[in-house]
Structure 1
Amino acid sequence: MTALIDPEKFKNPDVTAKGERRARVVFNALETLWFNTGSLCNIECENCYILSSPTADHFVYLSPEDMAPYLDEVDEIAEGPIEIAFTGGEPYMNPDIFRLSEMALERGHSLLILTNAMKPLMRPRVQKGVIDLNKRFPGKMTLRVSLDHFSEKGHDAERGAGSFAAGVAGMNWLTENGVALNIAGRAMFSEDEATDRAGYGALIAKQGWDIDAMDPAQLILFPEMDEKVDVPEITSKCWGILDVSPNAMMCSSSRMVVRRKGDGRACVLACTLLWDDEQFETGKTLTKSLEPVALNHPHCAKFCVLGGASCSA
Structure 2
Amino acid sequence: MKDLDETGAASANAGKFRDPERTAKGEARAHVALTRPDTLWFNTGTLCNIECENCYILSSPTNDALVYITEAEVAEYLDQIEARGWPVREIAFTGGEPFMNPEMIGMARAALSRGYEVLILTNAMRPMMRKSMRAGIEELNAAYPGKMTFRISVDHWSEELHDKERGKGAFARTLEGMDWLRDAGVPMAVAGRTVWGESDAEGRAGYARLYAARGYAIDAGDPGATVLFPEMDERAEVPEITTACWDILGKSPNDVMCASSRMVVKRKGAARPAVLACTLLPYAPEFELGETLAEAERDVALNHPHCAKFCVLGGASCSA
> Which residue pairs with 1:164 in the alignment?
171
Give, in angstroms, the shift of residue 79 of structure 1. Answer: 5.4
Measure the CA separation in 2 of the matches of 1:78 and 1:56.
35
Aligned-partner SS, 2:208: helix
- Report what 2:74 is aligned to: 67
Are 2:32 and 1:25 equivalent residues in the alignment?
yes
Count of residues in Structure 1 that have an aligned counterpart in Structure 2: 313
Query: Partners of 2:85 and 2:261 in 1: how far apart?
Result: 11
Name the SS for the 1:272 alignment partner.
Answer: coil
Encode CA deviations 1:107-160: one digit per residue, 9 max, x unaligned: 100000000000101111111111111001111100000000011011001100
Q: Report the identity percentage.
A: 57
The correspondence of residues 1-313 of structure 1 with structure 2, limited to 5 A, is 2=6, 4-78=11-85, 80=87, 82-313=89-320
Change (3 A) 1:78 1:182: farther
Give the Cα separation in 2 of the matches to 1:189 and 1:303. 17
Q: Is the 8 A contact 2:39 2:88 kept in 1?
A: no
Q: 1:253 Cα deviation (Å)?
A: 0.7
Contact 1:81 1:110 in 2 (8 A): no
Partner Cα distance (1:108, 1:170) in 2: 26
Alignment check: 8 A CA contact 2:91 2:118 kept: yes
- CA root-mean-square deviation: 1.1
* Cα distance in structure 2, aligned partners of 1:224 and 1:240: 26
User: Hey, which bits of structure 1, 4+ residues long, moved more than 2 A?
Assistant: 1-4, 76-81
Gaps of 5+ in 2: none
SS at match of 1:262: coil
TM-score under structure 1 length normalisation: 0.98
SS of residue paired to 1:256: strand
SS at the partner of 1:196? helix
Residue deviations 1:279-303, cap 9 Å, x none?
0000100111111100000000000
What is the DSSP-based 3-state SS (H/G/I as helix, E as strand, rest coil) of the residue aligned with 1:145?
strand
SS in structure 1 of the partner of residue 72 of structure 2: helix
Kept in 1: contact 2:13–2:235 (CA 8 A): no
Contact 1:16 1:235 in 2 (8 A): yes
1:188 deviation in Å?
1.7
Structure-2 separation of matches of 1:6 and 1:134:
46
Partner deviation per Cα, 1:10-50 (whole Å, 9 max, x = no partner) = 01111111111111101102100000011100000000010
Is the deviation greater in 288-297 or in 76-85?
Answer: 76-85
SS at match of 1:75: helix
Q: Report deviation, 1:73.
A: 1.1
Instruction: Report if aligned partners of 1:30, 1:77 keep a CA contact under 8 Å in 2.
Output: no
Give the counterpart letter for 2:248 in structure 1. Answer: I
The 3-state SS of whatever aligns with 1:144 is strand
SS in 2 for 1:183: strand
How far did residue 65 of structure 1 move? Answer: 2.2
Task: Output the CA distance in 2 between the equivalents of 1:15 and 1:249.
Answer: 19
CA 1:32–1:288 in structure 2 vs 1: closer, same or farther (change >3 Å)?
same
CA apart distance, 1:189: 4.8
User: Contact 1:52–1:88 (CA<8 Å) still a contact in 2?
Assistant: yes
Distance 2:314 2:85 in 1: 28
